[in-house]
Chains A and B, each alone.
Chain A
Amino acid sequence: MPPTTESSAPAVRLRGVVKRYGSITAVGGLDLDVPEGTCVGLLGPNGAGKSTTMKMLTAQAIADEGEIEVLGYDLPGESKQARAECGVVPQLDNLDTTLTVEQNLVVFAHLYRVPRAQRREAVDRAIGIANLGDRRGSKVDELSGGMRRRMLIARALVHRPRLLLLDEPTVGLDPQVRQELWALIDGMRTEGTSILMSTHYIEEAERLADSVTIMSHGKAVASGRPSELITKHAGRDAVEVYGPPAKLAEAEASALEAGFRTRRTGTSVAVLGLNSANGDAPDGERRAANLEDVFVLLTGEEIS
Chain B
Amino acid sequence: MSGKLGRLERPALQGVMVREVINFSSYWRSTTFSSTVDPTIYLLAFGFGFGSLVSEVGGFRYVEFVGTGTVATAVLFASVFPSMFGTFVKYQFQHTYDAILAAPVDTEELVTAEALWIACRAGVYGCSPLFVAIVFGLDPSLGMLAVPFVNFLAGYGWACFGITIAAFLKSIDNFGYVTSGVITPLFLVAGTFFPLEGLPEWAQIAAQANPLYHCVELVRHCVFGFEGLTDLAHVGALVVFALAAWRLAIFGMTRKLVN
Residues of A at the B interface (CB closer than 8 Å) are 1-3, 21, 58-62, 78, 80-81, 83-86, 88, 90, 92-94, 96-99, 103, 106-108, 110-113
Contact = CB atoms under 8 A, between A and B. Distances in A.
B53 interface: no
B254 to A, nearest CB: 10
A90 B102 contact: yes
Chain B, interface SS category: helix
Given A60-B257, A78-B4, A111 B22 contact: no
A98 B105 CA distance: 22
10 contacts: A2-B1, A61-B259, A62-B258, A81-B1, A90-B98, A93-B95, A96-B19, A103-B22, A107-B15, A111-B15
B171 interface: no
B104 A83 contact: yes
Contacts of B100: 111
Given A62-B258, A107-B19, A90 B95 contact: yes
A88 B103 CA distance: 8
B182 to A, nearest CB: 30
Given A80-B5, A99-B26, 4 more contacts: A1-B1, A61-B259, A107-B19, A111-B12
Nearest to B103: A111
A84 B94 contact: no
Interface residues of B, number: 30
Contacts of A111: 12, 15-16, 18-19, 100, 103-105
A85 B4 contact: no
A98 B22 CA distance: 10
A61 B258 CA distance: 5
A243 to B, nearest CB: 47
A84 B104 contact: yes
A8 to B, nearest CB: 19
B14 interface: yes
Contact of B104 (A92, A103, A113): A113
A54 to B, nearest CB: 10
A107 B22 contact: yes
B52 interface: no
Among A1, A88, A113, chain B packs the most CB atoms within 10 A around the CB of: A113
A123 B2 CA distance: 24
Contacts of A108: 103
A96 B98 CA distance: 12
B2 A84 contact: no
A96 B23 contact: yes
- Of all A-B residue pairs in the complex, the 8 with the closest CB atoms, nearest first, are A111-B15, A94-B95, A88-B102, A84-B104, A111-B103, A110-B15, A110-B18, A94-B99
B33 interface: no
Contacts of B257: 60
Among B1, B99, B258, chain A packs the most CB atoms within 10 A around the CB of: B99
Among A3, A85, A92, A107, chain B packs the most CB atoms within 10 A around the CB of: A107
A150 to B, nearest CB: 16
B27 interface: yes
B132 to A, nearest CB: 31
Nearest to B104: A84
B22 to A, nearest CB: 5
Interface in B82-116: 94-96, 98-106
Contacts of A1: 1
B143 interface: no
A96 B101 contact: no
B104 A106 contact: no
Nearest to A96: B23
B163 to A, nearest CB: 18
A211 B5 CA distance: 33
A108 B2 CA distance: 21
A80 B104 contact: yes
Contacts of A113: 11, 15, 104
Contact of B2 (A3, A60, A61, A110): A3
B159 to A, nearest CB: 20
Interface in B200-228: none
Contacts of A88: 99, 102
Interface string B1-41: 11011000001101110110011001100000000000000
